[in-house]
Structure formats: structure tokens, C-alpha cells
Chains A and B, each alone.
Chain A
Amino acid sequence: MSVPGVWVYAEHGPDGTVDRSTLGLLTKARAVGREVAAVSLGAGAAASVPALADHGAATVFVDDDPVYAEWPGEPAAYVLAQLAADHRPDLLLFGSSYDARDVAGRLQAMLGTPLVANAEHVLDVDHVRLVVALLQTPGRPGNLRGGIGGAKLVDVELTGRAPRIVLMRPQALEAERHGGHADVVRVDVAIPDARKRTRRRARHEEQGEGPKLEDARVVVAGGRGLGAAENFRLLDELAGAIGNAAVGATRPVVDAGWTPFAMQIGQTGKTVSPDVYIAVGISGAAQHIVGAKDSARIVAINKDRQAPIFQYADLGVVGDALTIVPALVEELGRR
């Protein structure tokens, strides 16, 4: 059986719960107008089939082997290379998670085919539209509602041979149910021991308390302007005073160890779209803004009236966060 067309690399949990980004990839794949297939590897693969089918996969390649979790990256790339050689798809779509990048990057080198990252749309099998963030600097105005913060949209023609590999921006992905049934193809590829080289020994969770960032109606995000790790407590208090609010952070703050990575918002972190986004002591770099730009309302508190964040804010407050946030908590408490 040969399944050409557009393939989606599926990411899912061990219970088969499919990542939202994968479901969004299927929507993008369907828009191309060719046969759509998904490749689902690792524990939970079989259980992931109904959701993949419901979002438009007509075929799902399945392998439940735990090998993919124990030896991350390389076995999955090896299997995809074999499947691609057998079935000759036109396009392989990936998300932008670290796992997806590891599989896609190794696969590209195995196949010698083109790869583009940060794609916003797949126009057809030869053309994709990308987002290029050219202005990474605070201190410069960017663009928001019309486009992506400080970024340009670039159309790229893929001229190399198939299968072309496309990594989609998580922000570009929207899951849409389609309804349908998928043919299941069991993957029957023996993975050589030489491809089992990098081993996962343990997993550690570092989740915070309260509502999840992605689900909260209000996100209070803090940046370097908070000055010290202990001042993040002010944001916890503000989130508590508002209710159904979660606390997020910028990358420098995560890198400095003030907050866990699970709280990072932006290009390399999470994407949020709450009813209200409150940016506290955040300069407004393009890589941060892309993770919050779809928020319905943006409030910014920054002591520098030139801060680029004010370009994006519906309401900008010029002042010291360390006095304004406690005053706001008090004000909300009085009500």
C-alpha cells in the first residue's frame, strides 16, 4: 500500500492524548488538498488513532513500541526515513517542540531533502509562508495585530526533492475537527541497536500550582524588571486577587532560575491567549510577544515609557512595578 501526500508527525501522551499542536498540523495538512496521513510512534500510539482520524488523517502509521520513549529522537527518525522511502510522501509536517525538532533535523540529514522551520502556512507542496523575526531588540517598535511582533512574512519556494520537511510555528496551529475514519498501518521496521545511542534515564516534573497557563483567563507575566526572584511573589498575589489567573515569565527570568521553564511564554516557550494579559517589567521583545499577541487585551506596566511593550498594550502604565502591583492587589482586595 502506498500513501503519498502530506504526512503529520504525531505527538501524544502515553495514554494516547494527542497534543493540540498535532491536531492543528492535521488542519494545515488538509488545507493542502492531498491525501493526509499521520505517523504515531511510542506508547499510546494505537489509542491516538481516533483523535487523529477525527482531525483528518485518512491513514495512521502506528507503532506502540516503548523504544521511542526510552531512546528519544533517533529511532523515530530512522523509522520515518524507512516509511518515507517506502511510501514517498510529498510533505512531512512537524510541530516545533524539542522532540519534533530532534526527529525532523536528523531525518533531514538522513534523506538529504529540504527543511524549513517557523512556517505559518503551507500554501501547496512547493510553497510555504514563514515568519521571520528580524527585530529581536527591545527599544524598537514592532508590529502586532496586523502581523507578528517585529516580524515579516516571507514566502519560500521549496526546490529540492521530496519529501520536504516543514516545521510549523505552534502559534499558527488551530485544531479543527473533521470527522472520519482512518486506516491503521502497523509499522514494521526493525530498529538497529546502532540507532539506540541516546537514552532517557528519568523524567522530572516542575509544574507550579493554580490554573494552567494555557487555560487561565488572565495571565500575569513577569520579566527582568521585577529585579529579583522573590518579587515574583507579588505576581502570585496579584493572580490570587484576580482569581482564575496564572503567572508566566520571560526567558531571561527562566534562564536565571527565578521560575521554571514551564512558565516561559514566547517563541521558545508557551503560547497563551487569555482575556487579559498583564506584562510586568517586560520590555516587549518580538520573541516574547509572539507567545502573547493573541490575548484579547494587553496591559503593560513598565518604568520606561519608551519600552516596546507599550506598542502592543491596550493600556500602558508607566511606573515602578514594585509599587504598582502591591497597590493593585490592595485595590482589588478592597472590592
Chain B
Amino acid sequence: MADGSPHRAGGVDVVVLAKFVPNPSGAPPEIGPDFRLTRSEANAGLDPSDEPGLELAVSLVEARGGAVTVVSVGAEGAVGALWRALAYGVDAAVLVEDDALAGADVLATATVLAATIRRRPFDLIIAGVESTDGGTGTLPIALAELLDLPAATFARRVEIEDGTVTIERQTSSGYDVVDCALPALVSVTAAAAVPRYPSLRETIQAKKKPVERLSLADLGLTAEDVRATQRVTAVEIAPEKEPGELVEDETYALQRIVQLLEEAKVL
């Protein structure tokens, strides 16, 4: 446990990160005049990449005691993502929102997350490996550095024993076994846990649970601390390609596939 805090024997206090993203199954986000993605509550929600981490956090705590806190840095409306997390059985939710955060980049977001997480003792931080919209895949490791923590990343399997977290880390040809002492950060792939489906009752009750809302000032940060270090100057949309031939008749389809393979000289 961090900071030598008093602790239930065997329990783990887990902080899980949740990002609010344009709804992957809704209308695509638009690019505004300032070249930023416009997000609204209506077409946004919890990033699906964060669901395995939430599942892992909740099941770890169910098995050995402790508590799960979900933390999100986002715009107004990100509370929708937190309700979804609360429906999983997360104990507490913290949302940092501030006008100065519009357009915040990875390091700015990590700085805010670090300031938020640092306020209370914890054993483990769980993040997704890559957000669905931003997708740098570097926020978790930057956060670990800001909090002076070891990190075990790209985990497809996570186990905790005797103050050590051991993971199977995805590689391009298999996996590595990697470990480090707690407190630590792990980032998890979708293979790490299969998300449960919160019931309707849990979903309704989640909206009644409190969400702690913080501004930058509450964290002792200023707009200067989260100033963007990059600026979009142009956006270009690639032209669409003409669709190819579409075949429905099976016998003809087989003929055409064989012809195409012959033309490509691969048979």
C-alpha cells in the first residue's frame, strides 16, 4: 500500500481510470472550427477500452477486500461514463472537469490524474492500454512516472500476490511474464477480463451514487499546468474510394474469386 496507510489485511485499494469518449456505436464526432472533436453527452460514454480494467478492479476487490475508486478527467458529461462504472459496483467516483482542460494533451491529462490520485493511498492503478478516440497508448506510463511508480503494461492477465503484481504482457510473437512490487500501475488489454453486464437495477442505482467533482483549483493546479503543447493547424478528409464489384450468386462468386487469384498469379 502506498504512503504506509492503515490497511485491511489482504485487501487492495484500486484506482481505475475511465475515459469519456464519443460513443463508438453512435454518430461519429464532428470536428469543430477550432479543430477539436466536439463531444456531447448524447453521443458519448465510457470508453469500451476501460471496461476490462473496471471488471478486473471490481473482481479483485470482491475476491480480497479493499475498495475501487474510478477517476476520470473529462468534459461536462463525462459523468455518464462514471455512472456506467458505478453500475459495475465501483465504490467511489471522482470527476475532474474544468474549462481549462479543453484540448488537454496526454501529459496535461496525466498531470491532472496524478494530482487526483495522489490525494489518497492506493495499491494499484488500472488503466486501459489505448483509448478509443485519442489512442496514444502512452498516458498510463506517463502517469506512472509522475507518481514515481513501477508499471506493468499491456497485460492480458493480471495476478496479485504478497504485494507483487505479475502480468502476462502481450508481445508480437507471444507473451512475457513481468512483475513489480505494489504500489504499481498496470494497463490491461481486452483479454485481461470479460466485462460483466450491469443489471438495469444496478444501472439505475448507480445514478444515485455520489460523484466527487473537482476543478483544477481544487487540485492546486492552474491553467498553465495543463497548457497544450501542440495545436492542430489543418484537417484533411481523404476522398472515398469507388466500391468494387459485389456478387451474390455463389457459383459465380467462386468463379470470380478463382479468376482474381489467377490474375494475381498466386495459384
Contacts and interface: CB of A to CB of B under 8 A. Distances in A.
B247 A315 contact: yes
B144 interface: yes
Contact of A244 (B29, B177, B231, B266): B266
B215 interface: no
Given A96-B137, A101-B153, 4 more contacts: A146-B240, A261-B156, A270-B172, A275-B266
Contact of B191 (A104, A257, A324): A257
B250 A324 contact: yes
| B interface majority secondary structure | mixed
Interface stretch (A28-36, A182-190, A198-206): A198-206
B120 to A, nearest CB: 21
A146 B238 contact: yes
Contacts of A262: 172-174
Contacts of B231: 156-157, 159
A140 B28 CA distance: 9
Interface in B31-81: 31, 35, 37
Most buried by A among B141, B171, B180: B141
19 contacts: A102-B151, A108-B107, A114-B107, A115-B105, A134-B29, A141-B240, A143-B238, A143-B239, A157-B231, A159-B229, A167-B136, A198-B180, A199-B179, A262-B172, A275-B265, A310-B246, A311-B241, A315-B257, A317-B257
Given A197-B150, A203-B174, A262-B174, A275 B141 contact: no
A245 B145 CA distance: 44
B142 A105 contact: yes
Interface of A: 72-74, 77, 96-98, 101-102, 104-106, 108-110, 112-118, 127, 133-137, 140-148, 151-161, 167, 197-207, 217-218, 242-245, 251, 254-255, 257, 260-262, 267-268, 270, 275-276, 278, 296-299, 305, 310-319, 323-324, 327-328, 331-332, 335
Contact of A101 (B37, B141, B177, B234): B141
B145 A106 contact: yes
Contacts, number: 281
B179 A198 contact: yes
Contacts of A106: 141-142, 144-145, 151
Interface residues on B, range: 35 or more
A323 B178 contact: no
Given A202-B176, A207-B173, A143 B240 contact: yes
| A interface majority secondary structure | mixed
Interface string B238-267: 111101111110100110111011011111
B107 A276 contact: no
A315 B141 contact: no
Given A101-B138, A198-B150, A314 B244 contact: yes
A117 B137 contact: yes
Interface in B83-132: 105-107, 110, 129-130, 132
A142 B243 CA distance: 11
A97 B172 contact: yes
B153 A98 contact: yes
A282 B209 CA distance: 40
B230 interface: yes
A109 B105 CA distance: 12
B135 interface: yes
